[in-house]
């Protein structure tokens, strides 16, 4: 666990951690020595030697005072470390997560990150504030007492030493079961949490299809899995926790039995036996307290491990000497291949050049690698082989912030923050003047949206932009891109599934963007595709065709088939005009 503690606290806090552990060990040893002094004190009292008893009492009082000081310092240092975690861990997590590959953020990992950043962080603070002290003292105090008993009476000392590993095995048996089941429960809870959020966000869909009475099977399955995991944890751990508690009581009974047997056979003075049995009671007391906390400590250890795993996830490597872009707006793929998790290549042998201020449409069947190309431009992942260059420089040789400053993504699933309409537009360029962001909003057709909202630009759009339609969210995203004025704009199916009004605003924004930026568009709407300077057809992760609309129609290949299929598709508007 020490490795996880060091990883979570960070190098700057290692000295503080070691000092805390040193004081914790010192307090535990001092507490044990204070208890050991009880033996000569009781012996003197029972033999009627009150002068000797006073001396031992003063020694015990002095040791108690030193122990209290050590306890105070240890407690303050523990609370200080807990506060350090509260003050810095969220910042460290945020800074580290911001440098992770964007492809790392799967729904499962986001769920675990959310739990680690909330309950995991609190459990880590509890470890220092409340949990670690009784566990460490539960080991050191009995160890020192057992050595003292070995010196005072070898029979009881040997018995205590023999009982110790048996108690350890019993509690380790219980703690391992708790740790193992906690991982299962945590995974089930993360899935259930994601399903609850999904269920809450999609209530309008359930209402639209009359599914409000039937429930949502994936959510019910996730909650059931969480219940089963919790029940399994209880069934497996409760008997073991009970066995651990019984082992402590059994150890005390064995010590009493050995002491009485020794006294009956004259091997030990009855007065000393009373004092040693008092010492034996203090031997099992810390063990019982440690046993009561061991399960929580193992759960905290799991949380620390999960936090440490996140912090140990390697970020995308940043170049020691970043290179600045030399050709703004130029995007190139040079013999690029890429595979997810060392599997089959998603794209392979990609050679493409997107000249500045050009518009290229990428089309292809689902799973052909269209979105992957955009992710590689934004460096969600590093390529397996070849180079992706933005602004004439390999994306791996550029500073991350400098790379993203050149790109304005308009993704298929637009996410708006639960903030005002103005604030969501300003994300594109926070330092923009009022005139600049309002002009970007006008060009993207967001002015018309603001006019209909109760508080205009200061209206909050809800979590994920729930107060706006999908098309309206798309227009806000385009306003961000217009405001950013990046030399490269990436549109992932930005014109798909929009109504006529929203499609008109989106296409007008695309017209404005293409005047000043390189556009790489993934789209299924024919007007947008036809307006492109070049069309690239992907098939199975490779370039199947490339050329203008007329060239590809004449080729009568995959694009021509796509074109004719779209023209025959239900709802296709033959009067729609191409973007120019």
Render pLDDT for 38-47 as a digit per residue (tens, 0 to 9). Answer: 777 777 777 6
CA-based nearest residue to 414, from 488, 492, 487, 358 = 492
Q: Left (φ > 0), alpha (ψ -120 to 50) or beta: where does 369 sit?
A: left
User: How sure is the predictor about 580, in pLDDT bands with cuts at 50, 70 and 90?
Assistant: very low
Query: How is residue 359 annotated by DSSP?
Result: E
User: How sure is the predictor about 271, in pLDDT bands with cuts at 50, 70 and 90?
Assistant: low
Expressed in percent and rounded to 5, the helix, strand and coil fractions of the chain are: 65, 10, 20
User: How sure is the predictor about 246, in pLDDT bands with cuts at 50, 70 and 90?
Assistant: confident
Domain count, the chain: 1
Is 495 part of any domain?
no
CA-based nearest residue to 419, from 466, 364, 377 = 466
pLDDT (tens digit per residue) in 126-162? 777 777 777 787 778 888 887 887 787 777 778 777 7
pLDDT of residue 506 exceeding 80:
no
- Centre a 10 Å sphere on the Cβ of residue 551 and count the other Cβ atoms it contains: 13
pLDDT of residue 237 exceeding 80:
no
Cα 59–chain centre separation? 52
CATH of the domain at 21: 1.20.1560.10
| Tokens of residue 8, six digits | 């979570």
Per cent of the chain over pLDDT 70 is 79
**Lowest-pLDDT choice from 108-112, 247-251, 358-362, 549-553:** 108-112
Is 183 part of any domain?
yes
Output the CA angle 236-239-240, nearest 5 degrees: 80
HSE at residue 226, side-chain half, CA atoms within 13 A, is: 17
Is 260 part of any domain?
yes
- Give the separation between CA 404 and CA 102, rounded to whole angstroms: 12
pLDDT of residue 119 exceeding 70:
no
Check residue 4 and give its pLDDT. 65
Q: Is 193 helix (H, G, I), strand (E, B) or coil?
A: helix
Beta bridge partners of 536: 362, 546
263-301: buried (b, 16+ CB within 10 Å) or exposed (e) per residue?
A: beeeebbeebbbbbbebbebbbbbbbbbbbbbbbbbbbb
- More confident position, 217 or 19: 19
Residues 6+ apart with CB under 8 A from 538: 347, 362, 363, 364, 368, 369, 370, 373, 544
Check residue 205 and give its pLDDT. 61
- Give the separation between CA 44 and CA 38, rounded to whole angstroms: 10
Is 211 part of any domain?
yes
Query: How is residue 120 annotated by DSSP?
Result: I
Name residue, tokens 């539960």.
138
- Centre a 10 Å sphere on the Cβ of residue 435 and count the other Cβ atoms it contains: 8
Crossing angle of the two packed helices 38-46 and 14-36, in degrees rounded to 10: 10
Strand positions, DSSP E, 265-395: 331-339, 345-354, 359-364, 385-390, 393-394
| Tokens of residue 385, six digits | 């082989």
Is 401 part of any domain?
no
Is 528 part of any domain?
no
Is 320 part of any domain?
no
Does residue 416 contact residue 476 with C-beta atoms inside 8 Å? yes
Does residue 18 contact residue 242 with C-beta atoms inside 8 Å? no
pLDDT of residue 33 exceeding 60:
yes
Residues 6+ apart with CB under 8 A from 329: 355, 356, 357, 391, 487, 488, 517, 518
Is 94 part of any domain?
yes
The mean of the pLDDT values for the chain is 76
Q: Is 416 helix (H, G, I), strand (E, B) or coil?
A: coil
Check residue 571 and give its pLDDT. 43
Residues 6+ apart with CB under 8 A from 519: 358, 359, 360, 489, 491, 510, 513, 532
- Give the separation between CA 559 and CA 86, rounded to whole angstroms: 56
Query: Is 118 buried (19+), middle (13-18) or exposed (0-12) by CB count in 10 A?
Result: exposed
324-358: buried (b, 16+ CB within 10 Å) or exposed (e) per residue?
A: ebeebbbbbbeebbbbeeeeebbbbebebebeebb
| Tokens of residue 71, six digits | 């306890």
Which range of residues forms the domain containing residue 23? 2-312
Check residue 7 and give its pLDDT. 64
């Amino acid at each position: 666990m020490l490795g996880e503690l060091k990883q979570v606290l960070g190098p700057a806090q290692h000295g503080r951690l070691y000092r805390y552990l040193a004081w914790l060990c010192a307090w535990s040893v001092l507490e044990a020595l204070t208890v050991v002094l009880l033996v000569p004190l009781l012996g003197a009292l029972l033999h009627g030697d009150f002068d000797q008893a006073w001396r031992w009492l003063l020694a015990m009082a002095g040791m108690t005072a030193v122990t209290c000081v050590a306890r105070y310092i240890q407690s303050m240092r523990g609370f200080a470390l807990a506060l350090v975690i509260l003050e810095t861990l969220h910042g460290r997590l945020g800074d580290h997560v911001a440098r992770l590959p964007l492809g790392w953020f799967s729904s499962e990992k986001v769920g675990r990150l959310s739990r680690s950043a909330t309950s995991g962080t609190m459990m880590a603070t509890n470890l220092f504030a409340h949990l670690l002290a009784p566990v460490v003292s539960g080991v050191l105090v009995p160890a020192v007492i057992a050595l003292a008993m070995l010196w005072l009476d070898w029979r009881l000392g040997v018995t205590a030493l023999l009982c110790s590993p048996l108690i350890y095995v019993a509690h380790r048996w219980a703690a391992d079961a708790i740790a193992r089941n906690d991982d299962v429960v945590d995974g089930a809870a993360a899935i259930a949490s994601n399903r609850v959020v999904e269920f809450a966000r999609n209530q309008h869909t359930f209402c639209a299809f009359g599914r409000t009475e039937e429930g949502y099977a994936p959510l019910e399955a996730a909650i059931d899995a969480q219940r089963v995991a919790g029940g399994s944890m209880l069934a497996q751990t409760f008997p073991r926790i009970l066995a651990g508690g019984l082992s402590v009581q059994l150890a005390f009974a064995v010590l009493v039995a050995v002491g009485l047997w020794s006294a009956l056979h004259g091997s030990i003075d009855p007065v000393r036996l009373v004092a040693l049995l008092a010492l034996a009671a203090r031997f099992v007391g810390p063990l019982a307290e440690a046993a009561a906390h061991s399960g929580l400590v193992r759960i905290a250890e799991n949380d620390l491990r999960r936090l440490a795993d996140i912090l140990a996830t390697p970020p995308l490597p940043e170049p020691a000497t970043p290179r600045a872009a030399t050709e703004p707006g130029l995007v190139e793929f040079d013999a690029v291949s890429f595979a997810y998790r060392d599997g089959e290549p998603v794209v392979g042998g990609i050679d493409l050049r997107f000249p500045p201020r050009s518009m290229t449409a990428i089309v292809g069947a689902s799973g052909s690698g269209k979105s992957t190309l955009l992710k590689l431009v934004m460096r969600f992942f590093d390529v397996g082989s070849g180079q992706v260059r933005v602004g004439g420089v390999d994306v791996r040789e550029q500073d991350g912030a400098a790379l993203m400053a050149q790109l304005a993504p308009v993704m298929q699933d637009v996410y708006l923050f639960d903030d005002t309409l103005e604030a969501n537009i300003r994300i594109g360029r926070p330092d923009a003047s009022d005139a600049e962001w309002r002009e970007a909003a006008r060009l993207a057709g967001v002015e018309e949206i603001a006019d209909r909202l109760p508080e205009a630009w200061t209206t909050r759009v809800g979590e994920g932009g729930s107060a706006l339609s999908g098309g309206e969210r798309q227009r806000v995203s385009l306003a961000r891109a217009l405001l950013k004025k990046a030399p490269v704009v990436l549109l992932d199916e930005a014109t798909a599934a929009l109504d006529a009004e929203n499609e008109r605003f989106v296409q007008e924004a695309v017209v404005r963007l293409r005047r000043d930026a390189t556009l790489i568009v993934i789209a299924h709407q024919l007007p947008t595709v036809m307006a492109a300077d070049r069309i690239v057809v992907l098939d199975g992760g490779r370039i199947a065709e490339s050329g203008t609309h007329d060239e590809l129609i004449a080729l009568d290949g995959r694009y021509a088939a796509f074109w004719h299929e779209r023209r025959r598709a239900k709802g296709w508007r033959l009067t729609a005009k191409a973007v120019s």
